[in-house]
Structure 1
Amino acid sequence: MTEPGALDQGVTRDEWTATVVGHHRLRHDVAVIRLIGEFVPFRAGQSVEIRTAVQSEVRRRLSPALPPSLDGKLEFHVRTVPGGWLSGTLVADTKIGDEWLISAPAGTFHVDPAGDEVVMIAGGTGLAPLRAQILELARAPQPPRTYLFVGGRSPRDLYAADMLVLLAAELPWLTVVPVVERVSDPNWPDEWYEQIRAQVDVGFPADDLLEGTLADVVGAHGAFDHHQVLVCGSPAMTRATVERLVETGTPRGIIQYEGI
C-alpha cells in the first residue's frame, strides 16, 4: 500500500489525487481499475494524464470509463501496450491503496443529447470514453438512439461483454453490436479469462457476433450521414475505420475520432 502523501511532492493545483479501491484483471493484458478521490473536472469522453507512486516520473493518458462524479469515483480500462513504460505495471501490479495523481483533462469527444442518432465504434479499450458518454446520455430525459459497435480480434477480446449486455438491457435506446475478426478464440489459454468465464454467465451469444474488422462491418451499413459518429481504438483501427466510413458516404466532418 502506498504511504499517505507519497506523491505530495510536486503536486500542483492542476493535479488531483485518487486512491485505488478496485483492481480487476479481466484478461492477460486488460484490467479495470477503480479509484475514489478528489473531484476531477473532466468531461465524459475526455482523457486525463495519470502518474503513480510506483513510476512517478512516467505519465500516461487514459480515458475514464465513467462520467464525472462529484463523489470522486473514477474507472479506467487499461490494456498492456507492448514496450509501454507504464501500462504493463498498471495491469499486473496495481494494488488497493495505491495513490494516483490525475491531471490535464483533454479531448473533444462529445455527444449532443438533443441531437441526431449516435453511432459509436470502439476497438478494445477504446470502449472506455464511449461508455462514459453512454452513461452521461442516460442522465438525459430522452437520449438519442445509440448504436455501439464494439470490436476485438476474437470473442474473448470483448472483455466487457457482460457489462455491455446488461447495459443494453437496461437502456432501451442503446443497441450493442459485437464484432470479431474471427469467431473462434486462440488455442492458447488465458487464465484470467477462464476465471471470469467460470464466474460470469452473461455475454454475447455466438449468433450475435458479426465477423470482420470494425471497418468492414460499419462500412457494410452504408452512410451514416445524419448521425453523430465517434470512433476510438488503436491508431491503425481508427484510421481504417474512418477511411471506410468516408468511402461509404459518411461525411468526414461529422466523424469524431481518437486513437489510444
Structure 2
Amino acid sequence: MAKLDTFNDPFDFRIRTLPEPNPDIQTLRVQSNEGVITKFENLTDDTYRVVVTCPEGSHKLCARAGQYGTIKVDGIQKPRSYSFAQAPERENPNEYTFFIRLVPGGELSAWLAEKNREGEQVKLSGPMGKFGLDESAKPMVCIAGGSGMSAVNALAQEVQAKGIVRDCYFFYGARTEKDLYLHDEIQALKDNWPAGAKFEYIPVLSEEPEGSAWTGPRGFVTQHMKEAYLDTGIVNADNLKAFFCGPPPMIDHGIQALQDAGLSLDDIYYDKFEDMRSPAPVIDNQMCVLCDECLMVKATENCIVEATNFKRDDDGITEFERVKPAHSSGLYYNALYIDEKECIRCYACVEACPHKAINPNYDKVPTTLRKF
C-alpha cells in the first residue's frame, strides 16, 4: 500500500514519490513589499492620512484608482484592507497613501491612533478589488461615506489627471462639520477640472447640531442625492454612472434609489467597507471550476485552504484537517475552504471569482464534488 506522499503508478505499477509543489513558483496578482510609514497626520479627530514608502527596487503594486491593499504590522495577527487614497498619477514613486479611520474594536486602526507612527515598519500588499472607473464619459455620481473618501477621491483625481471631459457630482456623507476633510484637495480638483465639464462637491451632514453655523445639506447623503438631484432632474438615470464607497447600509440605500429611478445595476460600481463584524465568505465547491482566481488574490497565506474531515457544531465548523496539495485526491473529495479565523473580510475572493462560487450567504457546511 502506498504511503501518503507516494502513489501507485498505473502504467508500471511501481510506487513513486509524489512531486512537491515548488514554493518559488507563484502566480499571484497580489504583490507584497516591506515599507515604512513616512507620513502620519490627523485629517480629523479619528481619521489619519498614512503614507507608506517602499524601498527602491521593490515590487510596483500597479494599483488602479479605486483598488485597495492590505497593511500588516508586527504584533497584530491579521492585516487590514484599506483603499488607496490617491490616483497612481498623483503618487510619488514607491509611495502609497491611505485615509484610515479609527474603528471601534479595530486592532490596526487602534494601533495607529496610539501615537505618531512615522518610522514604523509595515508590510504592504496589493492591489485587490475591481472597483474603478468605467470607460465612458457619462456624468458621474460619486457617493462616499467616512474613509470611503479615499477611493472616490482617487477616482476623481484620475478623471482630472487624464483630462476626461466628464461631469462629476461628488457627494460626501459625514456626521458633523468637524468630520469633513480634504478641503484644499477638493478645491484643487474643482479648480483644475477638465474644461467643458462640471465638478460639484456636496458634503452632507447627518448629526450636525441644530443651531450650528452649518448652512449646507443635512440628513443622509443618499437621501439628499435622491431628493435634491435625482428627483429634480439635475442628474438623469438615463445618462449616468454611479460610484459608491463606504458603509454597506449607505451603499445599499443609494443603489436602491438609483435602481428605482431606472438606472441599471450594470451602471453602478461600488466598494463596500466590510470589517471583522461582517460574515466571512463561503465557497460553494459545487459551483467552483478550480480556476484558482481566488487563490491569486488572497490576503493572507491561510485564509483559503484545501481541507477535509470537517467537524462542526451548531455554531459552524469547529475543526478541519489541512490537505497538502498534490498529496490528495484534490477537490474531488476535499473542499476549498475559507477559514473564518484567518479571513480578514476583504472580500477580494468574492470579487475575483468569475463564477459567483463565493458568497457570505452560502451554506457554511463545506461541499465537495464527490462524497465518497
Give TM-score, length-normalised by structure 2: 0.57
Distance across 1 between alignment mates of 2:97 and 2:87:
9
1:1-260 alignment to 2 at 5 Å?
14-37=31-54, 38=58, 39-55=60-76, 57-68=77-88, 69=91, 71-112=93-134, 114-171=136-193, 173-184=198-209, 206-207=214-215, 209-220=216-227, 221-222=229-230, 223-260=236-273
The 1:101/1:211 distance shift into structure 2, 3 A limit, reads: same
The 1:238/1:70 distance shift into structure 2, 3 A limit, reads: same
Contact 2:160/2:192 (<8 A) preserved: no
Instruction: Give the superposition deviation at 1:140.
Output: 1.6
% same residue: 24
Distance across 2 between alignment mates of 1:20 and 1:141:
31
2:149 partner amino acid? L
Instruction: Give the superposition deviation at 1:128.
Output: 0.3
SS at match of 1:71: coil
Instruction: Give the superposition deviation at 1:31.
Output: 0.9
Distance across 2 between alignment mates of 1:103 and 1:185:
44
State the 4+ residue runs in structure 1 displaced beyond 4 angstroms.
none
Contact 2:66/2:131 (<8 A) preserved: yes
**Larger displacement relative to structure 2 (169-178 or 127-136):** 169-178
Distance across 2 between alignment mates of 1:23 and 1:185:
33
Distance across 2 between alignment mates of 1:36 and 1:239:
35
The 1:91/1:227 distance shift into structure 2, 3 A limit, reads: farther
The 1:43/1:84 distance shift into structure 2, 3 A limit, reads: same
Distance across 2 between alignment mates of 1:185 and 1:29:
22
- In structure 2, stretches of 5+ residues that fail to align are 1-27, 231-235, 274-372
2:71 partner amino acid? I
Which structure carries more helix by proportion?
A: 1
Distance across 2 between alignment mates of 1:50 and 1:186:
41
- In structure 1, stretches of 5+ residues that fail to align are 1-11, 188-204
Cα displacement string for residues 4-47 of structure 1 (whole angstroms, at most 9, x for unaligned residues): xxxxxxxx983122211111023332111112224322111001
Contact 2:251/2:272 (<8 A) preserved: yes
Instruction: Give the superposition deviation at 1:85.
Output: 1.9
Distance across 1 between alignment mates of 2:174 and 2:52:
26
The 1:17/1:231 distance shift into structure 2, 3 A limit, reads: same
SS at match of 1:122: strand
Kindly indicate whether structure 1 or structure 2 has the higher relative contact order, using CA contacts under 8 Å at least 6 residues apart.
1
Count of residue pairs brought into register by the alignment: 230
Cα displacement string for residues 120-143 of structure 1 (whole angstroms, at most 9, x for unaligned residues): 100111010111111111222333
Q: How much is the aligned-residue C-alpha RMSD, in angstroms? A: 2.5
Contact 2:65/2:151 (<8 A) preserved: yes
Per the alignment, residue 309 of structure 2 pairs with none
Contact 1:218/1:245 (<8 A) preserved: no
Distance across 1 between alignment mates of 2:246 and 2:174:
10
Task: Compare CA radii of gyration and give the structure with the larger one.
Answer: 2
1:92 partner amino acid? E
Distance across 2 between alignment mates of 1:224 and 1:126:
23
Cα displacement string for residues 170-227 of structure 1 (whole angstroms, at most 9, x for unaligned residues): 325422111111443899xxxxxxxxxxxxxxxxx943x2112012111112253311
